[in-house]
């Protein structure tokens, strides 16, 4: 009574997709979430917020190279997805606090695992890269 049961023709590729996961489906909503989380600045915002609450300008200072526009945009999409809690205190000058939601913390931990791995293995990776470029020069 589910998708699997209704598969008769064209069944092979559909079954494969289901087994591996929905992200592989062209129009699965998880693709969008994944892109928000894995976006250039989304990753870094999540990592920084793992350290606790931050204000807008704090985030901007910690994340090297991000523009106001992109930071704002990134924060909005992550807030929409329910990963970030935005609290605006009604004072002047404005004071806005960004925090991870419980759900946001769960993704952030996984993202952090990835970035940490990359940082720690960067020497290995860069070494591998140099070998490759050397190969392409010598195997002609």
Partner DNA sequence: CGGAATCCAAGATGATACTG
Partner DNA sequence: CAGTATCATCTTGGATTCCG
Residue 61 φ then ψ, to 5°: -75, -40
Q: How far apart are CA 28 and CA 55, in angstroms?
A: 33
Please, which residues bridge with residue 95 across strands? 89
Q: From the CB of 122, what's the least distance to DNA, in Å? A: 19
Q: Which is nearer to its own copies, 79 or 97 (CB)?
A: 79
Q: Using a CB cutoff of 8 Å and minimum separation of 24, what contacts does 12-19 make?
A: none
Q: From the CB of 78, what's the least distance to its own copies, in Å? A: 11
Q: From the CB of 70, what's the least distance to DNA, in Å? A: 4
**With CB cut-offs between 5 and 8 Å by kind, which of DNA, its own copies, none does residue 78 bind?**
none
Q: Does residue 111 touch its own copies according to CB under 8 A?
A: yes
């Amino acid at each position: 009574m589910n998708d699997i049961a209704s598969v008769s023709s064209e069944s092979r590729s559909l079954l494969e997709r289901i087994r591996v996961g929905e992200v592989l489906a062209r129009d699965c909503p998880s693709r969008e979430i994944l892109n928000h989380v894995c976006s250039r600045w989304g990753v870094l915002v999540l990592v920084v917020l793992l350290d606790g609450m931050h204000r807008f300008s704090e985030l901007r200072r910690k994340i090297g190279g991000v523009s106001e526009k992109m930071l704002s945009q990134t924060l909005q999409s992550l807030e929409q997805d329910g990963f970030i809690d935005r609290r605006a205190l009604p004072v002047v000058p404005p004071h806005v606090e960004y925090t991870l939601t419980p759900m946001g913390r769960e993704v952030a931990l996984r993202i952090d695992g990835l970035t940490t791995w990359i940082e720690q293995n960067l020497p290995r990776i860069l070494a591998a890269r140099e070998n490759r470029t050397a190969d392409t020069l010598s195997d002609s």
